[in-house]
Amino acid sequence: MYKSKYLLYVFFTGLAYKIGLVKERDRLGQRFNHLYKGLQQPNKSIRDTVCFAKVFEAKTDRMVETCEANVLAAFPTQRIPDEKGFLTESFDDTVSLDAILECINNQTRCKFNLLYEDYVPSEKD
Amino acid sequence: MSTPFNPVVSGNPNFTVANNPFDPNSEINTEEGIYRSLVDLAKESVHFNNIDSKTLARLREKYRAEVEEGSAYTMEQLPRYKLKVKTPAQRKAVFPAQKRMILDFKQALNTPLFVNVDSKGNYNVMEGQQHGTSDSALGDPNDMVNCIVFRNMPDWFEEWFFLEFNCESRTQISDYDRIRLAILMERKCPTGIDEYEMYSEKQELFEEYGFRYLDERETDTPCGVSHSSIWVVPFSTLKEMFKFIGSDDELKQDPTRQITWGFWQCAQEYGYLYNENVIQAWRDLVVDMTGQQYVKDELTAMFRESGRNWSATRGPKMLMGLLKKRGCKDIDMSRICNDNATLVAEIEECIQYSEKAQQYV
């Protein structure tokens, strides 16, 4: 429906959510594998509980960028810091999917279309 | 529809009397027990009136009397180059209006410069005067500058001195406030110089439509402006722009950036300032770009896709081209490009071959 090159995703780690964007649609599967590896789970069965809870396409790439930045800014205290203390794109488990989606919906200037829901790309991707 | 009981709030509602340092009742003045406005203080300031040699002699005596040993300072004429210059980062803050206004203003008043000599022998221009009077970038380095020079003073001396004697450099008083002070003082003592009057009129527009000029670079404050080139925008353009943005619920949530007034100046130059279709089309495009603060980034990305760099003159023309492509029929690109066929083709090419531009068309 929309023609943005970028996609906005809400990634579910099995415990909490993480927001991010991919700059090329074809790389969504690659990003999933990267995120999954980043979880460093010893048991491969966990892969079944990990998914892209939502993936959106937008009217323009800028809308994806702005929305991601605004959602991150909306949860400054609920984001997990990295080793150096910088806030990452990962939320703690107090942030629900509904809260993230409400924040995305509040970005009235950003026109989105839901592309996938509970999406798990194949391992080959 | 608005009624007298439910007025439309123009501009950023946060810019109110509460944060106006020139209102004697505002928090900034009352919280530290400072109940008088800066203008009131300025009226009492020894720097307010032209200082003739007789007054200067009297002041010298007064200052001497206030210092125990009577020789804390000397009156000297120093060449400007001898004064410690600002760092490049500080110099960036000197914008044209400030340069003209404060420099001329203080020179006209013949205000001597306060200088503190540090242990390394640097002639440090004391706090609160840096921008206007001393920097070598602002005048001939060989100019002789009237200075009151302090030597061998304790570390806290500069801060203490100006907190005591200089109303300009009180805590929280920014360059912006200093300009306002200068303007308000000019209003009280009209010089007949058009340039001053024009600045004061533009300044009034900021107040009227709820905008503010802020010191921070690239501020994110709604209706905050931080780029100095706003002062060279014609009055009529500025008025229309502030009026439109200040009353638009979407746009007034954004900081206002250079490309915004760049577009409005372009619109005025080519006769579209009062064309509602063009202005409305611009507004829709800006909202599609998710705000004024992202317009330059988007245009830059479009230029790069066709191997070009950002240009402050080409940017607004590119915006006009995009509006035309989005269906704004009132725009004549030949007129925008001064009948320069090459430029028309260049913009056409930028839009056609940029994937990003195509997302907005």
pLDDT tens for residues B125-174?
776 554 444 444 445 566 666 677 777 776 666 665 654 554 343 333 44
- Of A3, A4, A110, nearest to B290 by CB-CB distance is A110
Q: Is A124 domain-assigned?
A: no
Residue of chain A whose alpha carbon sits nearest to that of B360: A60
Alpha carbon distance B255, B220 (integer Å): 5
Pick the residue of A3, A61, A109, A111 with the most B CBs within 10 A to test the interface with B by mutation: A109
pTM of the model: 0.64
Calculate the dihedral angle through the C-alpha atoms of B38, B39, B44, B50, rounding to the nearest 10 degrees.
120
Q: Do A109 and B356 touch (CB under 8 A)?
A: no
A58 touches chain B (CB under 8 A): no
| Strand-strand pairing, B212-213 and B224-225 | parallel
Q: Do B359 and A110 touch (CB under 8 A)?
A: no
Q: Is A2 domain-assigned?
A: no
pLDDT band at B109 (very low <50, low <70, confident <90, very high): very low
Residue of chain A whose alpha carbon sits nearest to that of B291: A109
Alpha carbon distance B339, B327 (integer Å): 21
**DSSP string for residues in B122-169:** -EEEPTT-IIIII-GGGS-TT-EEEEEEEES--TTHHHHHHHHH-GGG
Residue of chain A whose alpha carbon sits nearest to that of B286: A109
Q: Is A1 domain-assigned?
A: no
State phi, psi for A123 to the nearest 5 degrees. Answer: -65, -30
Of B42, B19, B67, B318, residue with least CA distance to B185: B42
- Cβ-based neighbour number of residue B295 at 10 Å: 25
Q: Is A125 domain-assigned?
A: no
A103: containing domain: 7-119
Q: What is the pLDDT of residues A58-79, one digit of tens each?
A: 999 999 999 999 999 999 888 8
Q: Do A109 and B287 touch (CB under 8 A)?
A: yes
For chain A, give the number of residues: 125
ipTM strictly over 0.85? no
Q: Is A22 domain-assigned?
A: yes
- Cβ-based neighbour number of residue B101 at 10 Å: 22
Domain count, chain A: 1
Alpha carbon distance B248, B287 (integer Å): 11
